[in-house]
Amino acid sequence: MPSKPVRRHQPGYYWRAGLMSIIVGVLVAGSSSPASADVRHVRASLTISAGTLHFNSVGSIEFPQIQLIGFTTSNSTFDTLDITDATGTGDGWDVQLTSTQFTDGTDTLSPGAAAVTATRTPACDLGSTCALPPVIIAGYPVGVPAGTTPPTAAIIYSTSVGTGMGAINCGLSYTLEIPSNAGAGLYTATWMYTLTQSPAVIGTTL
């Protein structure tokens, strides 16, 4: 018996055909199971090794030329200590200074002729996230110990525990007293800086 022709013009034909397509699509989509997720937990670790405590730079101390005037005068100059604390301990540090006396080979300035003062707020070096020490004014100026041989050093700069880490530059001012009876000439001295990981009171001697 010949099948009856599909009459697309019958009422509801297209609606029923669309509904069948949706049902078939849902059944096909539902027949595929989702892929299972593979989750792994791993341990991430990093070992940070200690670096060193060291001077990045210590410049020569050059006092400008001065003319004798018949009275006691003073001369001054500035310098920057650049220090890195990469030890990772946060113990703090101090800078000690001692020197020989200024002499031109004939005349010698007194042992207490030189002194040092911190002149500005310490700053982090470019590229360093440092732990800045507090601004300290107590104890300044500090006399620079001097003798025919360097005597016991004095603390001229210090950071407290938990500060001073990273790369830091510290501005210092140096003064030199010139007596009225000083002889003319080129005076030189040897200054010795020591950097240690032991914060101390500025101005004390060790």
Q: Could you identify the residue written with the tokens 């240690």?
A: 196
* pLDDT reported for residue 12: 56
Which of 8-17, 62-71, 119-128, 170-179 has the lowest average pLDDT?
8-17
Name the average pLDDT for the chain.
85
pLDDT tens digits, one per residue of 103-116: 999 999 999 999 99
CATH architecture assigned to 53-196: Sandwich (2.60)
Contacts of 116 (CB under 8 A, 6+ apart): 97, 140, 141, 142, 144, 156, 172, 173, 174, 175
Whether residue 22 has pLDDT greater than 80 = no
Q: Residue 79 to residues 111, 128, 129: CA-CA distances in angstroms? A: 21, 20, 23
* pLDDT reported for residue 34: 63
